[in-house]
Amino acid sequence: MPIYGLRFHSLDQTSYYTGPEHLQRGDMVFAPLDQGEALGEIVCLCPTPPPGVTEEELPAIIRCAADEDKAQLQANREISREAAEFCRRCIRNRRLDMKLVDVEVFFDRSKFIFYFTAPARIDFRELVKDLVHQYRARIELRQIGVRHETQMIGAVGNCGMVCCCRRYLRKFAPVTIRMAKEQNLFLNPAKISGICGRLLCCLSYEQENYDQFHRSCPRLGKKYQTKKGGMKVLRANMFRNSISVITENNEEMELTLDEWQALESYRPEAPRQPQNKAAPKQPQGDGLLVVSVTPDSVDDPALFADMLPVEEEKESAPPAPPAEEGQSRKRKRKRKPRQDGEAQAAPATSAAGMPEPPEDAS
């Protein structure tokens, strides 16, 4: 059977299904999802199944969409805009530190998904109640990052074109500052950051080529011993697949990596590599919230117990344990008993440092 690529939302990943032969690109069809049937659009025709999946494992398209289905889809879009306005009013009235990005309504209107951004976890219990009482459906609040916000809204990048995440990028690859350093870019945040304030996604496009080049390239600024004597590496040019070195006679040369490998270079003072390397740390979660509430569970007091921010309470210091009888917490210096005839004050000293005689009582 033919294989079709479906997209249920303009920013969703492409899902693959089998179906009849008469379907064409742009047709609206119903296909099964984990939440039930959903209305999607055919975006591509695939001659072969995607890698790692057989044709028998692909689900089948249920049916084509009728005119009334398309009319309900347009009505759902109107409800989505109204729900967004209502949610923004509730956020302003309750003075919540969050920003609503988009609202998605299921085809049968059984579930509303509200995408928002927030600097931290917030208490939105009353907001959820307002939304559930207004639409009497399952309400899901999903916190997203600034990258996904830019993907949903869209913007123009530094290159003058629409952001990659809005046009065709569907999965965000990890981008680190090390990529900018290896690509010899100026570490200016305004130059290497996108509209979202994060590092540019395009830094990862050529990173595989840079990694492959640096694996076979010697370290810059280091001295090596070769068949032609000592050499120091000055620069590396990935586009020419070459390096620039300076010899012991202060002569600068440009060598390709193949020519450099033929010199059998080595570092005499190279430190030994540790045998047992620490395992790389696993990336931690981003801590974004996903809360789903139904009209039946919205009044449950323990619903948000594990999702809301913990209130900072000043913990009082625990009471000190009672001191044992005959002992005190702090040692005090014992004073000797005063004897009779002992002078109560220390004798005064003269300017010469000798003690002065006591004054007569008379």
Q: How many Cβ atoms sit within 10 Å of the Cβ of residue 35?
A: 12
pLDDT in tens, 310-354: 554 444 445 555 544 444 454 555 565 555 544 444 444 444 444
Residues 126 and 77 in one domain: yes
Residue 250 within any structural domain of the chain: yes
CATH code, domain carrying 98: 3.30.300
Q: What are phi and psi of 57, to 5 degrees?
A: -80, -15
CA dihedral angle for residue 303, residue 306, residue 309, residue 310, rounded to 10 degrees: 110
Do 138 and 81 fall within a single domain? yes
**Nearest to 181, CA basis, from 160, 209, 210, 155:** 210
Q: Which amino acid is at 226?
A: T
The residue type of 142 is: R
Exposed/middle/buried for residue 350 (C-beta within 10 Å: 0-12, 13-18, 19+)? exposed
CA distance 84 to 76: 12
CA angle 259, 262, 265 (to 5 degrees): 105
pLDDT of residue 80: 93
Give the count of domains, the chain: 4
If asked whether residues 135 and 155 sit together in one domain, one would say no
Q: What integer pLDDT is reported at residue 284 of this predicted model?
A: 45
Is residue 281 included in any domain, yes or no? no
Has residue 327 been placed in a domain?
no
62, 20 Cβ separation under 8 angstroms = no
Question: Rounded CA gap, 164 and 194, in Å?
Answer: 10
pTM of the model: 0.65
Q: Are residues 140 and 111 in contact, defined by beta-carbon separation less than 8 angstroms?
A: yes
Nearest alpha-carbon partner for 290 in 78, 79, 148, 88: 148
Helix pair angle (125-135, 67-94), 10° resolution: 150
- Residues 255 and 198 reside in one and the same domain: no
Out of 45, 65, 85, pick the residue that ends a domain.
Answer: 65
The reply to whether 331 falls in a domain is no
- The reply to whether 77 and 140 lie within a common domain is yes
Instruction: Please give the DSSP secondary-structure letter assigned to residue 56.
Output: G
The one-letter amino acid at 11: L
Q: Is residue 118 part of a domain?
A: yes
Question: What is the Cα–Cα distance from 77 to 308, expressed in whole angstroms?
Answer: 31
* Residue 61 CB partners (closer than 8 Å, separation 6+): 4, 6, 17, 18, 19, 20, 23, 29, 30, 31
Please answer whether residues 236 and 260 qualify as being in contact, where contact means their C-beta atoms are separated by less than 8 angstroms: no
Instruction: Mark out the alpha helices in the chain (DSSP H runs).
Output: 67-94, 125-135, 146-153, 164-167, 177-182, 189-192, 207-215, 257-262
Q: According to the model, what pLDDT value does residue 109 have?
A: 87
Could you say which DSSP state residue 187 is in?
A: -
The SS3 assignment for 113 reads: strand
Q: Which of 47, 65, 83 is the last residue of a domain?
A: 65
Q: Is residue 301 in some structural domain? A: no
Positions in the chain short of pLDDT 50: 272, 275, 279-280, 282-285, 312-317, 323-328, 330, 341-355, 357-362
pLDDT tens digit sequence for 25-67: 888 898 888 777 888 889 888 888 888 788 888 888 988 988 8
Strands (E) in the chain, as ranges, are: 3-7, 15-18, 28-33, 36-46, 63-64, 99-105, 111-117, 138-143, 223-226, 229-237, 242-247, 252-256, 290-293
The rounded percent of the chain whose pLDDT value lies above 90 is 15
321 assigned to some structural domain: no
Q: Residue 337: its pLDDT value, please?
A: 56
Q: What is the DSSP letter of 253?
A: E
Of 65, 96, 117, which marks where a domain is finished? 65
Domain that holds residue 253: 219-262
In a domain, 305, yes or no: no
